[in-house]
Amino acid sequence: MKPFEQIQESLHSIESKLRSAKHSVRLIGVTKGHPPEIYDICRKLKINHVAENKAQEYRDKIKDDNSRELSLHFIGQVQRKNLKYLSANLYSFDALSDLEVAAALNNVVQQKTEVLLQINVAGESQKSGLVCELSDVSRFINTMQSFDKLTIAGLMVMGPTPVPDLSEKEWERDTGRVFERAHEFLLSLRKETRLELPRLSMGMSDDYEIAIACGATEIRLGSTIFGARSK
């Protein structure tokens, strides 16, 4: 992890880019792999939304009221038996693509919880997520209406995996196409379901500027802010 001053400097650089965006963009600090003290740093720097991707790590970090004043996101895949570790203080589950996980999550969370549907827009077999088909995702949403503690708030999308033979310009083009399609899909889904779906989470350390230009309402940044993970 970077020293505090370097984290602060990195954050200021990112915030200046967010201020120049044409729309409001929420920053989610990806704190996975960092010690619990990272939450103290986030509070000091007013990084109000943080994300973990391992259920046991989430459980351990929120002990002793360590997560107070922070909105906690979960961005990883998780086995149903481990969802119990997310029962407390969860603001949003940002990688939902399985109805059985949704049902189990609805049973364990202690309060109303937002969820983002993970959509595999790039169509890559190694990535999780629902197929980017309007009818399929609409059916998924309809089935979820019975889960009274979960609020579908939007979509989460990952950019395409870099291909070694592509030039930087070609990679930027392909990434932009994926993110543009994600934004268009969200607009279509709003019309189809008549849900507000205000959130579009896409963009990480390597591609967040492209994501913002394509309509992301929140970005997920870890190493760009905090440096290398300690585990």
Say whether pTM exceeds 0.85. Answer: yes
The position carrying tokens 């970077």 is 2
pLDDT of residue 206: 94
- Measured between alpha carbons, how far is residue 94 from residues 41, 167, 183 in Å? 23, 31, 16
Lowest model confidence (mean pLDDT) among 21-25, 65-69, 169-173, 182-186: 65-69
Mean pLDDT of the chain: 96
For residue 101, give the nearest of 85, 119, 79, 86 by alpha carbon.
79
User: Domains in the chain: how many in total?
Assistant: 1
pLDDT of residue 63: 85
The answer to the question of residue 231 being in a domain is no
The answer to the question of residue 155 being in a domain is yes
* pLDDT one-digit tens code per residue, 184-220: 999 999 999 999 999 999 999 999 999 999 999 999 9
The answer to the question of residue 133 being in a domain is yes
For residue 5, pLDDT beyond 90: yes
The answer to the question of residue 14 being in a domain is yes
Residue numbers of the domain that contains 118: 4-226
The CATH number that applies at residue 147 is 3.20.20.10
- Token readout for 126 is 């190694």
49 vs 43: CA distance, rounded Å: 10
The answer to the question of residue 140 being in a domain is yes
Tell me the mean pLDDT in the region 70-96.
96
- Token readout for 130 is 């629902």
pLDDT of residue 143: 97
**Helices (DSSP H) in 34-150: which residue ranges?**
38-44, 55-61, 99-108, 134-144
Tell me the mean pLDDT in the region 99-127.
96
pLDDT of residue 15: 97
pLDDT of residue 231: 60
For residue 230, pLDDT beyond 90: no
pLDDT of residue 162: 84
* pLDDT one-digit tens code per residue, 148-191: 999 999 999 999 988 888 899 999 999 999 999 999 999 999 99
